[in-house]
Chain A
């Protein structure tokens, strides 16, 4: 019998069915990857095991741990299992720790809740556990507070809280989604080590196929509250019996068809030379002048017309600051940013004629639109940049054209933004960027918040638009696979500097800089498929998702 058995689990919240007939097993020392897009019910499956479901939840079926059905245990009995036999790690390390308690106390609490240990004894165990998650005592004393740690370090503390008593089962809900790729690799390595050392069972929940493909022993694929396919990781990708699994796989490694027509001979569209940007930090002493932080340090590059340039880097590398400078939202202290030879800032102001040449698509499809305005008004906002405002008929026609060019209906302009899904909203954001026919479109993590299937569609759309309108893209992302699929050339940024630059394929296949190498090394990869399956996928990639 397996350690943890989920048997025909169904869940409804306030009468709305969330999960249907979920069944899978977990053995000691085994890693099971639970994969699905948003709304697939993968997190709710985890919360069902922990019995930490929202109010109004009703569960049916059975979840057995060592033969005890968790669904029939009292809350009191569940409390004694949680943290002792069952540990859980969450997605958002920045908010998962209590900001007003020291990390030592928070880890020791797990011990004190379950064992009759003295404070000193539980702190000793906390110390040991923090050492195990590679937070050594000299740099991370127990008295540290969460706000003094980085995201990756906080996630280690969360893991320490979960494993302090060496639970039999560890559930990790998207534990690395909020982290940078190199940090992600380290956390995954840590989890794997802990599983091996403690002979723990690990339920790894993620939306990212690549993350689990070389980590998990077994894989469970979920869609709309149901398990659509399960199997050993080694064989599942080879067989892929369910069409959704194939579609998911195809979307995860999707490369849009693009025509390459950048004109390297002509004058560059965007020229950035020796740009630096400092931020003033809060004073540390009343006497000394406040310290500065150089977010962007002597950066130079160009973008050719019709080119798609990728800018890759981890959080805090300065890519956002650089983006804001290019968009004319923030002035730089040193260097020059020219678009078609014209400076973005002239006399601390940005001319409309300059702004007209570029538009932007942001990451979050939900935060990108004023919820109070109709889509037509949202999409036509950049008309503000024109010298003469178009008449209402002309405006309506332009809105309809823009919406149609991104695959929506012209009549959608009359709707409000909340009537659209995330993927549709991102199309509307692209329509807004297109409407005044800019030269350059800055895509700031524009597909990072989307599910893989939607992401694939948006990437196709971007490729298609670029071909049709001869657009130039600056594609900013932390996601290497996306950048690889859509850009001609790539820049790698670290600590405010460009450390590597080159043709995308050349950089990815043969990275020169040690940092680029580590990035590519850390990025999770999908397994290579046998050739006949690749061919099969190619012919039937119109699977509906």
Chain B
């Protein structure tokens, strides 16, 4: 188990390293001179020179990369060109909206998908199964931001159960903040839950056809017992893979859906920065999101090992 963890950690570091290079090259090297790019064609040469100086662009690209990475490691993400404030401060607050939103949605999605998928698989061909399959077929096809708009229309504007948008901040009380994130999280979670429920169902059905389930039945287990005691844990392996993948979709979804609910998260920051050509901010936000995705996938890898003894072989 320790060796497995170390191996995964190593591959995590390599992923982050390569990702940081890709991000740096795309944003700082491909456009040529970032200072020129950020100021536009009408900029005066001396303004550009000043910005270069300010952003530390007068050194080689390699040196800049090293500075960027070492800065990030110490919590220094550089300075925003537009606002002249440290990027770390700008990201700091907003991160605590986008990431909790994605995790909240992941939790909801899992809580919805597991029972639905298990129910559909255990009563295959029944009304419940047909219902789950039909609903999820719709859920998979619905664009989450449109779903969010409909939710706002129904639950915020017509029923007034929730506010239509905005975020009171975590200081205003935990449950208040959670409530503000609930509609967005549901809008994000339902489409993903549909996918996950379908995966859960088909993974369970596949596993129920395995020889070891037949062995379990020969021991006298009922279909139900065989499903819960034997099939479920084996079906978790493909399900975990999907959960890992879903986090990156949910994070991307969170960034989009912040627009619907006027949440001051990373999404709003990054779209503003794009229109203001504030490359430093874009670069840092993208790196942060990639970091989050890689960390979640690392956790999924560890979860695999907990589920499957073949991965944690003792040497």
Give residues in A with beta carbon < 8 Å to B. Answer: 50, 52, 75-76, 79-84, 87-88, 90, 92, 95-102, 109-110, 113-114, 145, 147, 158, 161-162, 284-285
Contact = CB atoms under 8 A, between A and B. Distances in A.
Given A97-B212, A98-B230, A81 B220 contact: yes
Interface in B293-315: 307-310, 315
Main secondary structure of the interface of B (DSSP, over half): helix
Interface residues of B, number: 22
Contacts of B220: 79-84, 110, 113-114
A99 B217 contact: no
A92 B308 CA distance: 21
Contacts of B307: 100
B218 interface: yes
Contacts, number: 77
Contacts of A90: 211, 214-215, 218
Interface of B: 210-212, 214-222, 225, 229-230, 233-234, 307-310, 315
Contacts of A88: 218
A100 B309 contact: yes
B309 A99 contact: yes
5 contacts: A82-B219, A96-B212, A99-B234, A100-B308, A110-B220
Contact of A95 (B211, B216, B225, B308): B211
Contact of B217 (A52, A97, A162): A52
A161 B215 contact: yes
Kindly name the residue among A97, A100, A285 whose own CB sees the greatest number of chain B CB atoms within 10 A.
A100
Give the residue among B210, B211, B308 with the most A Cβ atoms within 10 A. B211
Nearest to A114: B220
Given A81-B220, A145-B310, A158 B233 contact: no
B211 to A, nearest CB: 4
B2 to A, nearest CB: 12
Contacts of A75: 222
Contact of A50 (B212, B218, B221, B233): B218
B221 A113 contact: yes
Nearest to A105: B229
Q: Which of B210, B217, B230, B308 has the most CB of A within 10 A?
A: B217
Contacts of A83: 218-221
Given A100-B233, A147-B309, A92 B218 contact: no
Contacts of B215: 90, 96-98, 158, 161
Contacts of A161: 215, 218-219
Nearest to B221: A113
Contacts of B309: 99-100, 102, 145, 147
Contacts of B219: 82-83, 109-110, 113, 161-162
Given A82-B220, A99-B309, A161-B215, 19 more contacts: A52-B214, A75-B222, A76-B222, A83-B220, A83-B221, A84-B220, A92-B211, A95-B211, A96-B214, A96-B215, A98-B212, A99-B234, A99-B308, A100-B233, A100-B309, A109-B221, A113-B225, A147-B310, A161-B218
A98 B216 contact: yes
Contacts of A95: 210-212
Contacts of B315: 284-285
A142 to B, nearest CB: 14
Contact of A109 (B210, B216, B233, B310): B216
A256 to B, nearest CB: 36
A194 B211 CA distance: 24
Contacts of B211: 90, 92, 95-96
Nearest to B236: A100
A79 B212 contact: no
Contacts of B218: 50, 52, 82-83, 87-88, 90, 161-162
Contacts of A80: 220
Contacts of B214: 52, 90, 96
B217 A100 contact: no
Contacts of A284: 315
Contacts of A52: 214, 217-218
A114 B218 CA distance: 12
Contacts of B230: 98, 101
B244 to A, nearest CB: 19
A81 B222 CA distance: 11
B266 to A, nearest CB: 38
B220, B225, B229, B233: most-surrounded residue (chain A CB, <10 A): B220
A99 B229 contact: no
A102 B219 CA distance: 16
A88 B212 CA distance: 12
A271 to B, nearest CB: 41
Contacts of A87: 218
Nearest to A158: B215
A418 B310 CA distance: 37
A87 B216 CA distance: 11
A450 to B, nearest CB: 23
B212 A109 contact: no
B162 to A, nearest CB: 42
A419 to B, nearest CB: 28
B300 to A, nearest CB: 17
Contacts of A98: 212, 215-216, 230, 234
Contact of A79 (B221, B233, B234, B308): B221
